[in-house]
Amino acid sequence: MLQRVSFLILFISLALLSIGQNELGGIGQWREHYNNRSVIQLGMASNANGEKKIIGATTQQVFSVTPSNKVALLGKSTGLNDASIACTAWDVAQSQLIIAYNNSNIDIVKGDQVYAITDLLLSNLYPSKKINHIYLLNQWALLSTDFGIIVIDLIKHEIKDTWFPNNNRQATKIFQIVSTQDVLYAATENGIWTCPLKNNWIIANQWQNTSDFNNLGISKITQYNNIVYGASTNSIYQLPAKTPYFNLNSGQIKKIVINKDGLYTSFSNGNKGGLLKINSDKTSTYIVDSIYLSNPVDYLFDENNIWVADSANGLLLKNTNAKLIPLGGPAGNVNGQIYINSKYLIAPLGGADVGFSMYSEDGWKTINTINNKNLPACYSSAVDPIDGAIWLTSSDGLLKYTAEKGVIEQVSPVAFRGFYSNIQFSSDGTLWTLLEGQGILQRQNNNWKLITPPNTLSLIGINKMFINQQGQAWMIAPNYQGIIVYSPNATGEKWRIINTYNNNLPSSTVTSMMDDKNGTMWVGTNNGIGLFDCNEISNCKAYLPQIKNNNGFAGLLFQKENVNCIIADGANRKWVGTNNGTWLLSNDGTEIIQRFTKNNSPLPNDTIRQIAIAPSTGEVFFNTAQQMASYRSTATSGATPMQQINIFPNPISPNYTGPIAMRGLIDNAIIKITSLSGKLVFQTRALGGQAIWDGKTYDGNKVATGIYLVFARDELGTEKAVGKIIITHGQN
Share of the chain above pLDDT 90, in %: 61
Residue 96: pLDDT over 50: yes
Report the pLDDT value the prediction gives residue 193, as an integer from 0 to 100: 94
By residue count, the chain amounts to 732
Share of the chain above pLDDT 70, in %: 95
Closest among 414, 429, 427, 339 to 378, alpha carbons compared: 339
Q: Which CATH superfamily is domain 335-452 in?
A: TolB, C-terminal domain (2.120.10.30)
DSSP assignment letter at 243: S
pTM of the shown model: 0.88
Residue 705 vs residues 208, 467, 683: alpha-carbon distances, Å? 71, 50, 19
Lowest mean pLDDT among 265-269, 538-542, 559-563, 689-693: 538-542
- Cα torsion through 589, 592, 597, 602, rounded to 10: -100
Q: Does domain 646-727 have CATH number 3.40.50.300?
A: no
User: Would you place residue 491 in the very low, low, confident or very high pLDDT band (cuts 50, 70, 90)?
Assistant: low
CB atoms within 10 A of CB 640: 11
Contact 51, 12 (CB under 8 A): no
- For 112, the 3-state DSSP assignment is coil
Residue 624: pLDDT over 60: yes
User: Would you place residue 9 in the very low, low, confident or very high pLDDT band (cuts 50, 70, 90)?
Assistant: very low
Contact 604, 672 (CB under 8 A): no
Report the pLDDT value the prediction gives residue 549, as an integer from 0 to 100: 62
Tens-digit pLDDT profile for residues 225-247: 999 999 999 999 999 888 999 99
Which residues, in sequence order, are CB contacts of 276 under 8 Å at separation 6+? 264, 265, 266, 267, 284, 285, 286, 287
Tens-digit pLDDT profile for residues 395-438: 888 999 988 888 888 888 888 888 898 999 998 899 999 998 89
Contact 561, 553 (CB under 8 A): yes
Residues of the chain with CATH 2.60.40.4070: 646-727
Distance CA 714, CA 725 (A): 20
CB atoms within 10 A of CB 140: 18
Closest among 220, 213, 224, 209 to 179, alpha carbons compared: 224
Distance CA 356, CA 330 (A): 8
Report the pLDDT value the prediction gives residue 19, as an integer from 0 to 100: 35
Buried b (16+ CB within 10 A) or exposed e, 85-95: bbbbbbbeeeb
Across the range 184-192, mean pLDDT stands at: 94
**Cα dihedral sign for 711, 712, 715, 720?**
negative
Which one has a higher pLDDT value, 370 or 526? 526
Distance CA 628, CA 603 (A): 8
Tens-digit pLDDT profile for residues 662-698: 989 999 999 999 999 999 999 999 999 999 999 988 8
Which residues, in sequence order, are CB contacts of 669 under 8 Å at separation 6+? 638, 642, 685, 686, 689, 691, 712, 713, 714, 719
Contact 44, 302 (CB under 8 A): yes
Contact 315, 329 (CB under 8 A): no
Task: Compute the C-alpha angle 251/255/256, nearest 5°.
Answer: 110
Q: What is the mean pLDDT of the chain?
A: 89
Report the pLDDT value the prediction gives residue 418, as an integer from 0 to 100: 86
Residue 5: pLDDT over 60: no
Residues of the chain with CATH 2.120.10.30: 335-452
Report the pLDDT value the prediction gives residue 16, as an integer from 0 to 100: 33
Query: What is the identity of the amino acid at 272?
Result: K
Report the pLDDT value the prediction gives residue 20, as an integer from 0 to 100: 34
Tens-digit pLDDT profile for residues 97-113: 999 999 999 999 998 89
Contact 38, 312 (CB under 8 A): yes
**Cα dihedral sign for 316, 319, 322, 325?**
negative
Distance CA 291, CA 313 (A): 11
**Could you please report the per-residue DSSP string of 69-85?**
--EEEESGGGT-S--SE
Report the pLDDT value the prediction gives residue 673, as an integer from 0 to 100: 94
Across the range 241-258, mean pLDDT stands at: 94
Which residues, in sequence order, are CB contacts of 85 under 8 Å at separation 6+? 40, 41, 57, 58, 59, 60, 61, 62, 99, 100, 101, 102
Q: How far is CA 317 from the centre of its chain?
A: 24
Residue 654: pLDDT over 70: yes
Query: What is the identity of the amino acid at 133?
Result: H
